[in-house]
Amino acid sequence: MSAWVNKWRGALGKTSRNTDAPFIAIRETRATSPFWVMVQKEFGDHIRSWRFVILLGIVTLACIGSLYTAVTALKDGAQTVGGDANFLFLSMFTVSSNGLPNFLTFLSFLAPLIGIAIGFDAVNSERSKGTLSRVMSQPVHRDDFLVAKFVAGLLLIAVVVFSLGFLVMGTGLITIGYPPTPEEFGRVIVMLLITTVYVGLWLNLSLLFSVRFKQAATSALSGIAVWIFFLVFYGMIVNLVGNALMPSDPSDVQGYMDAQNLLTLLSRISPAQLFQEAASTLLLPDVRTLNPFVTQEQAYLAISSPLSFGQSTLLVWPHIVALIAETSLSFAATYLLFMRQEIRSRS
């Protein structure tokens, strides 16, 4: 971390003429200002850390595994469930064989780990090493420190997610042999953006824990606990609630539907569920609704045909908004908590 501070000081030296200048002058040179230096430093630290290399290895292996299943399934001529032959390229992300999970499932399961691993010791380790107070003694804004942590993490996540996405697309090109249409490409890009936001949410959560808990281990454990809760237990809890809510009378269609709708609403609190629904809807253009029920009235005279890109996006727009809002809110909470904390030289 001393290297961190040294580099930072060097950068500060470059902008030292601004230290006595009025506030506005500092803002003008912000692009090369301490904030971006911090972002760069943070980014570099992550890339070079063993933790990240191991995580990246795990995630990449998982993706290659899912890619392999997708390629096998496609070579066997498998059709995706509810898929369309016109969107063969997209099925690279959604098909699977031999019971192995597909790319999306892997992503929704493992991608949060990247976020948690990047963020869980972001603040509290600096604090325990005493580097936080040293940074803060420099003429940087206090919030820049936290925002730099977040932005660096998000950039890293974006790089990873997009690399994986393009890896799959490249393999798809080799396997299928024809390029994606602009629409398919757009769908994949939007899906990758949603993935970035989703992982950003986990990054923010772990940042929150790292601000809240003094011990890095505690914060890591809390992050992993939340992760396991949403990915493993939350579904079970929703099922339990569902069993309790289901009307005993099997002929009570309205009650059954109400209960089912409530369950859907509950399960959508989980960001993992939101992400999966949003991403899979974007990658399966034939999905026309995300409601658990399609009423007879809605199905009457409907033709099964893929939705346009815009309509698919509009269909999952609430999910995207919810993901962005959840991410923003957890960031706001982190921010609030961090700004209210005291920073001492050695606590």
Partner 1 sequence: MKKLTKPLSGALVLTLLLGALLGGASLAAAAPLLKLFTPYTYLSVSPGEKLNYSIDVINDSDEIRTADVSFDTGSLGWTYELTAGGNRVRQISVKPGESQMLSLSLTVPLEVNKGDYSFKLNAGEFGSLPIKVNVAEQGSYKSELSVDQPNREGHADSKFTYSLTLDNRTASKQQYALTSEAPAGWYVRFSVSGSNVTSVDVEPGSSKSISLDVTPAQSAPADTYPIVVHAASGSTSAQAQVEAAITGSYGLELTTADERLSADITAGKTRNLELVVKNTGSAEITDVSLSGQLPANWEVTFEPKTIRSVAAGQSVPVTATVKASDKALAGDYVANLTASSPEKTASAMFRVTVETSMLWGWIGVLIVLVVAAGIYGLFRKYGRR
Which residues in this chain contact partner 1 in the complex, by CB under 8 A? Answer: 141-143, 288-289, 294-298, 300-303, 305-308, 310-311, 314-315, 317-318, 320-321, 324-325, 328-329, 331-332, 335-336, 339-340
| The dihedral formed by the CA atoms of 69, 72, 77 and 80, expressed in degrees to the nearest 10 | 10
In whole angstroms, how close is the CB of 198 to partner 1 at the nearest point?
15
Q: Are 38 and 8 in contact (CB under 8 A)?
A: yes
In whole angstroms, how close is the CB of 243 to partner 1 at the nearest point?
28
In whole angstroms, how close is the CB of 220 to partner 1 at the nearest point?
26
In whole angstroms, how close is the CB of 47 to partner 1 at the nearest point?
27
- Residue at 6: amino acid letter: N
Q: Are 285 and 307 in contact (CB under 8 A)?
A: yes
* Closer by beta carbon to partner 1, 160 or else 323: 323
* Closer by beta carbon to partner 1, 228 or else 332: 332
In whole angstroms, how close is the CB of 280 to partner 1 at the nearest point?
16
In whole angstroms, how close is the CB of 297 to partner 1 at the nearest point?
3
* Closer by beta carbon to partner 1, 248 or else 296: 296
* Closer by beta carbon to partner 1, 54 or else 321: 321
In whole angstroms, how close is the CB of 311 to partner 1 at the nearest point?
5
Instruction: Find, among 222, 204, 235, the residue nearest to 324 by Cα.
Output: 204
Cα-Cα-Cα-Cα dihedral sign, residues 148, 154, 160, 165: negative
* Closer by beta carbon to partner 1, 166 or else 317: 317
Residues 6+ apart with CB under 8 A from 110: 58, 59, 62
| 64-69 contacts at long range (C-beta below 8 A, 24 or more positions apart) | 65/100, 65/106, 66/96, 66/100, 66/101, 66/102, 66/103, 66/105, 66/106, 67/92, 67/103, 67/167, 67/168, 67/171, 69/95, 69/96, 69/97, 69/98, 69/100, 69/101, 69/102
